[in-house]
Amino acid sequence: MSELSVQHLLGIKYLQPSDIELIFETAAHFKEVINRPIKKVPSLRDTTIANIFFENSTRTKLSFELAQKRLSADVISFSAAQSSVKKGETLIDTVNNILAMKVDMVVMRHAHPGAALFLSQNVKASIINAGDGAHEHPTQGLLDSFTLREKLGDLAGKKVVIVGDILHSRVALSNIYALQMLGAEVKVCGPKTLIPRYVASLGVQVESDLRKALNWCDAANMLRVQNERMDVSYFPSTREYVQRYGVDKSLLESLDKEIVIMHPGPINRGVEITSEVADSHQSVILDQVENGVAIRMAVIYLLAAKIQ
Ligand code: CP
């Protein structure tokens, strides 16, 4: 297959396994490009992309901007906090005004699940979801699986546990879809209050004992506790969370085998994982960030090819 089956990247749910393979193949090529002395290709010289972020971001926003610049696209970036959204302008009006400036593609992060899908149905541009509330974060799901495949080889039959705040996580759902499409087995582990009911319907098992979960898996993706999305207490105290669901060096070293440690960032050091674990040779956290640029270049390049 040489083209994507979709016009937008709204979620991993909408992709075919062959789309993921094409994105990975293209990302591997771009990873080689960005490790050359001249890191830029002229592929998207005629494409203009707007990055519109209604929620905070460090990695995703900078990674998309860099990916676009490496492809020679023209880029404009918009932060809702400094925009006329604050004066009451609607999402569709805001985006249509940006598109009137001859923009071809929109990368959007928004607090509301379904915001990217809504936009794709109401404006004429290619839309990339950079995270919609607690729903999906498809480029994160792709870069996580790409990084794991680099580390573990073919993911068919590999075991991955996603640990922590699954309920408020868009990374969890995108990872579950991507890993399952690639043939991996997925479990989740965390406080009962932070495990959504939908996981069972996705064929994902819940393991409440962290040591058991870590002894089962080849890789653990340690999710951030999203305090900013919690209107009530989901566990008694941070101290108790750390005792039951945090990973430190002694726990890691006491396991039956060496596992890969992932984290989408930003890390609450000393909560999900200690600094020793984050900075250990088992951690691929900075590989995830590096691969994010190549994955986003691949997604943008392949979607740009579908713009009429
Ligand atoms: N992983 C991730 O989405 O990080 P940011 O919120 O910093 O973009």
pLDDT at residue number 227: 75
Q: Is residue 33 part of a domain?
A: yes
266 lines ligand 1 (CB under 6 A): yes
Q: What is the CA radius of gyration of the chain?
A: 19
Q: Do 58 and 125 have their domain in common? A: yes
For the chain, the domain total comes to: 2
Assign 3-state DSSP to the chain and report helix, strand, coil percentages, each to 5.
Answer: 45, 15, 40
Q: Residue 123 belongs to what domain range?
A: 12-136+289-307
Q: How far apart are CA 34 and CA 298, in angstroms?
A: 12
Q: How far apart are CA 202 and CA 87, in angstroms?
A: 41
pLDDT at residue number 236: 75
The structure tokens 């610049």 sit at: 69
Q: Is residue 259 part of a domain?
A: yes
Contact between 202 and 180 (Cβ < 8 Å) = yes
264 lines ligand 1 (CB under 6 A): yes
Contact between 187 and 205 (Cβ < 8 Å) = yes
175 lines ligand 1 (CB under 6 A): no
What number of CA atoms fall less than 13 Å from residue 199's CA on the CB side?
A: 29
Q: In ligand 1, which atom is closest to the CA atom of 63?
A: 8
Q: Do 171 and 273 have their domain in common? A: yes
59 lines ligand 1 (CB under 6 A): yes
Q: Do 149 and 277 have their domain in common? A: yes
Q: Do 169 and 274 have their domain in common? A: yes
60 lines ligand 1 (CB under 6 A): yes
pLDDT at residue number 235: 81
- The single-letter DSSP state of residue 247 is B
Q: In ligand 1, which atom is closest to the CA atom of 137?
A: 3
Q: In ligand 1, which atom is closest to the CA atom of 58?
A: 7
57 lines ligand 1 (CB under 6 A): yes
Q: What is the pLDDT along the chain (308 residues), one digit of tens a residue?
A: 689 999 999 999 999 999 999 999 999 999 999 999 999 999 999 999 999 999 999 999 999 999 999 999 999 998 887 778 888 899 999 999 999 999 999 999 999 999 999 999 999 999 999 999 999 999 999 999 999 999 999 999 999 999 999 999 999 999 999 999 999 999 999 999 999 999 999 999 999 999 999 999 999 999 988 777 667 678 878 899 999 999 999 999 999 999 999 999 999 999 999 999 999 999 999 999 999 999 999 999 999 999 97
Q: Do 125 and 192 have their domain in common? A: no
Q: For the domain that residue 181 is a member of, what is the CATH number?
A: 3.40.50.1370
Q: In ligand 1, which atom is closest to the CA atom of 130?
A: 3
Could you tell me the distance, in angstroms and rounded to a whole number, from the CA of residue 58 to the centre of ligand 1? 6
Q: Is residue 2 part of a domain?
A: no
pLDDT at residue number 232: 65
- Find, among 120, 105, 235, the residue nearest to 166 by Cα: 235
265 lines ligand 1 (CB under 6 A): yes
Q: Is residue 44 part of a domain?
A: yes
Structural tokens at position 104? 């071809």
Q: Do 145 and 185 have their domain in common? A: yes
Instruction: Find out whether the peptide bond into 266 is cis, omega within 30 degrees of 0.
Output: yes
Q: Is residue 1 part of a domain?
A: no
Q: Is residue 4 part of a domain?
A: no
Catalogue the E-assigned strands of the chain.
48-53, 74-79, 105-110, 126-132, 159-163, 185-189, 205-206, 219-222, 260-262
Structural tokens at position 231? 């209107």
Q: Do 25 and 154 have their domain in common? A: no
pLDDT at residue number 81: 79
Q: Do 142 and 130 have their domain in common? A: no
203 lines ligand 1 (CB under 6 A): no
Q: Do 189 and 119 have their domain in common? A: no
62 lines ligand 1 (CB under 6 A): no
The structure tokens 């039959």 sit at: 157
Could you tell me the distance, in angstroms and rounded to a whole number, from the CA of residue 60 to the centre of ligand 1? 5
Q: How far apart are CA 171 and CA 113, in angstroms?
A: 13
Q: How far apart are CA 69 and CA 40, in angstroms?
A: 8
Choosing from 51, 54, 56, 59 the residue with most ligand 1 atoms within 8 A of its CB, the one to mutate for a pocket test is 59
Could you tell me the distance, in angstroms and rounded to a whole number, from the CA of residue 1 to the centre of ligand 1? 30
63 lines ligand 1 (CB under 6 A): no
Q: Do 229 and 119 have their domain in common? A: no
Q: Do 143 and 131 have their domain in common? A: no
Q: Is residue 5 part of a domain?
A: no
The structure tokens 């040779």 sit at: 281
Could you tell me the distance, in angstroms and rounded to a whole number, from the CA of residue 105 to the centre of ligand 1? 20
Q: Is residue 3 part of a domain?
A: no
Q: Do 277 and 293 have their domain in common? A: no
